[in-house]
Structure 1
Amino acid sequence: MLAVIVVGTLRALKSIIIHVVRREALAADVRQIWLHYAGWIVLALEFALASDLIGTIIDPTWDDIGQLAAIGAIRTALAWFLSKDIEEFSQDPKPETREA
C-alpha cells in the first residue's frame, strides 16, 4: 500500500515540477494531477483492504473479524466517495466556466 501511495505522490510531484521548471501555468492542470493522484489513493485503499482480508484469513479471531469488518466498511466508503468524486470531476472538465 505504501509503495502505491509513494508512486502516486512521485508522479504528482513530477507533474508539478515539470510545470514549475517550464514556467507553465499550473492552475490549468491541477485538476488532472489531482484526478490521477486520487486514482492512486483508491488503488492503495483496495490493496490495504486485500491485505487485511488475507491477514484475517490466515489467523482469524472474532475480534479480528470485527475489526476487519469496521476497517473494511470505512475503507470501502472512502474508496467509493473518492471514486464518485473522480467520476464527477472527470465528466465536467472545466467547472469554472459554468454560468451562475
Structure 2
Amino acid sequence: MQDLFKTWTELVALAVEGAAALIIALAALEATVRALGLFLIRPSKPDMAKEGVRLRLARWLAVALEFALAADILRTAIAPGWDEIGKLAAIAALRTALNFFRKRQPSVALR
C-alpha cells in the first residue's frame, strides 16, 4: 500500500511539474509576441507599456514557481532527503524574491 501511495504521489508531482513547464512556455511565448509588437510594430509606445510586458511575465513565472514548489512539496513528503529539502528551500527563496521585487514596481495597467 505504501509503494502505491509513493507511486501515485510521484505521478502527481510529475504532472504538476509538467504544468509548471507549460505555464513557463506559454508565458514566454506571450511575452515574446507582446515585446515584438511593442518593439517592431509600435516602437513609440511609452516605457510603461514595455514594463507591463515584463511585469506580466514575472507574474506568470511566479505562478509557475508555485507549481514547481507544489511538486517539490509532494516529493519531499514521500522521500524527505537533504537534496529534496534543499531544492524546496531554493524554490521557496526564489519565489519570495521574485514576488518581493515584482511588488516593488510601480503599478502598470495591463491589458
Residue correspondence of structure 1 range 1-100 to structure 2 within 5 A:
1-25=20-44, 28=47, 29-57=49-77, 59-60=78-79, 62-63=80-81, 66-91=82-107
1:53 maps to amino acid: I
Aligned pair in 2 of structure 1 residues 55, 69: CA closer, same or farther (>3 Å)?
Answer: closer
The alpha carbon displacement at 1:90 in A equals 3.3
Distance 1:7 1:41 in 2: 10
2:22 maps to amino acid: A
SS in 1 for 2:44: coil
Unaligned runs of 5+ residues in structure 1 are 94-100
Distance 1:26 1:2 in 2: 31
The alpha carbon displacement at 1:27 in A equals 5.6
TM-score (norm. length: structure 1): 0.73
Q: How many residue pairs are counted as aligned between the two chains?
A: 88
Aligned partners of 1:4 and 1:40 also within 8 Å:
yes
